[in-house]
């Protein structure tokens, strides 16, 4: 993969420059990124659509909306943020972070739903 060098497009010349990655490898990835982008847009439309459907209770409506949001977030994290295939070192501190986050949210829910009765 080489492109005609124009005067205002700098050509890499030295330093710790590594050989360019295989173009075909990244063409596959760009197709994946487009696919994920389209999936996210479709899921956004679905999120809006299902918010007008009544699933029996407000709690269930909220659950369905957040389930779809979580799926979208997982796609962004796995594909766009390259977590899929990332080294385990990053998971070593991200997983405890998520545990603390869910604990914080859980405590807030418990504080309201199961509060102390005087």
Interface with other proteins (CB under 8 A): 1, 3, 6, 9-18, 20-21, 23, 26, 29-30, 33-34, 36-37, 40-41, 44-45, 47-48, 51-52, 61-62, 65-66, 68-69, 72-73, 76-77, 80-82, 87, 89-90, 93-94, 97-98, 100-101, 104-105, 107-109, 111-113
Question: How near is the Cβ of 83 to other proteins at its closest, in Å?
Answer: 9
Q: Quick one: which of 24, 41, 27, 28 has its CA closest to 75?
A: 41
Alpha helices in 51-84 (DSSP H): 58-75
Tokens in use for 83? Answer: 């977590």
DSSP-derived letter for residue 14 is S
Tokens in use for 8? Answer: 């205002």
Could you give the CA distance from residue 36 to residue 49 in angstroms, rounded to a whole number? 20
Question: How near is the Cβ of 1 to other proteins at its closest, in Å?
Answer: 6
* Residue with tokens 């993969």, as numbered in its chain: 1
Question: How near is the Cβ of 116 to other proteins at its closest, in Å?
Answer: 14
Question: How near is the Cβ of 73 to other proteins at its closest, in Å?
Answer: 5
């Amino acid at each position: 993969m080489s492109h005609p060098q124009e005067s205002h497009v700098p050509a890499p010349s030295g330093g710790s420059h590594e050989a360019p990655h295989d173009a075909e490898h990244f063409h596959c990835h760009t197709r994946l990124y487009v696919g994920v982008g389209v999936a996210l847009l479709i899921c956004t439309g679905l999120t809006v659509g299902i918010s007008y459907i009544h699933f029996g209770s407000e709690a269930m409506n909220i659950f369905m909306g957040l389930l779809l949001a979580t799926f979208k977030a997982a796609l962004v994290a796995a594909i766009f943020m390259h977590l899929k295939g990332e080294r385990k070192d990053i998971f070593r501190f991200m997983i405890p972070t998520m545990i603390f986050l869910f604990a914080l949210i859980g405590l807030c829910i418990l504080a309201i739903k199961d509060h102390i009765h005087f």
